[in-house]
Amino acid sequence: MSRSEASWRRGSRRGFTVLEVIVALAVSGLVLLGGRLMLESIGAAAEQTRQAARAADRLANADRLLRSLVGRLEVGTNYSGRFGGTDQSVHFTTWCDTPGGWLERCDATIGFVRTGDSTALVASLVAREPHGDIGPRTVVLAKGARTGGIRYLNDPRAGGQWFVGWGDAITAPLAIGIIMGGDTSILRVGERE
């Protein structure tokens, strides 16, 4: 065979050998498998991010509700109930948001409830007027702590004088401290300057 015949045979070859096709399929399979695993891990990370965002939203909404209830606290009027509390719950009259978008006077009780081996902070709201738009509702504000307690600020001077209870009175403390686990939230009572 002459040189030109050999080069003609090499140059006229078209297509792939079976071995080349198998190698190409194996590489393609590995790429697809890697892509699938990457998409699954991205999906799992996205779901974790969504769950973390929902938990952060719940905590922010609970904090906002708690601060608005204590901030709108009403005491010492003909239409309000008395303020009182222990180290585990507090009750008072406040102004609650209605589904219609206005405020309505309501009675609030905020306290700790044991659920199994953890403690939950719960707010119970009831309309003050018999035909109010606020139906009795209970809102879980926080859960999962081992311990919880409530403190009442009487005098802010010299670091503050805090009490573990507040007898039923027509006066309210300057602030309420909510202690859950190792965290403390201090809620200013009423709209003071």
pLDDT tens across 143-161, in order? 888 889 999 998 888 778 8
C-alpha triplet 89, 165, 112: angle, nearest 5°: 20
**Residue 13: what pLDDT?**
64
CB within 8 A of 146, min separation 6: which ones? Answer: 117, 118, 119, 181
Specify the number of domains making up the chain. Answer: 1
**Residue 40: what pLDDT?**
94
Structure tokens at 54: 């929902």
| Exposure class string for 134-160: b at 16+ Cβ within 10 A, else e | beeeeeebbeebeebebbbbeeeeeee
**Residue 146: what pLDDT?**
86
Residue type, 133: D
**Residue 190: what pLDDT?**
82
Q: Which domain holds residue 31?
A: 1-193
**Residue 47: what pLDDT?**
94
In this structure, the number of other CB atoms found within 10 A of the CB of residue 37 comes to: 10
Name the β-bridge partners of 111. Answer: 89, 122
How many Å apart are CA 10 and CA 193, to the nearest integer? 94
Q: Tens digit of pLDDT per residue, the chain (193 long)?
A: 556 555 555 555 678 899 989 999 999 999 999 999 999 999 999 999 999 999 889 889 989 999 999 999 998 888 888 999 999 999 999 998 888 888 899 999 999 998 888 889 999 999 877 666 677 888 889 888 888 999 999 888 877 889 999 998 888 999 999 999 888 899 999 875 5
**Do the strands 166-169 and 183-188 form a parallel or antiparallel pair, or are they unpaired?**
unpaired
**Residue 107: what pLDDT?**
93
Does residue 141 contact residue 62 with C-beta atoms inside 8 Å? yes
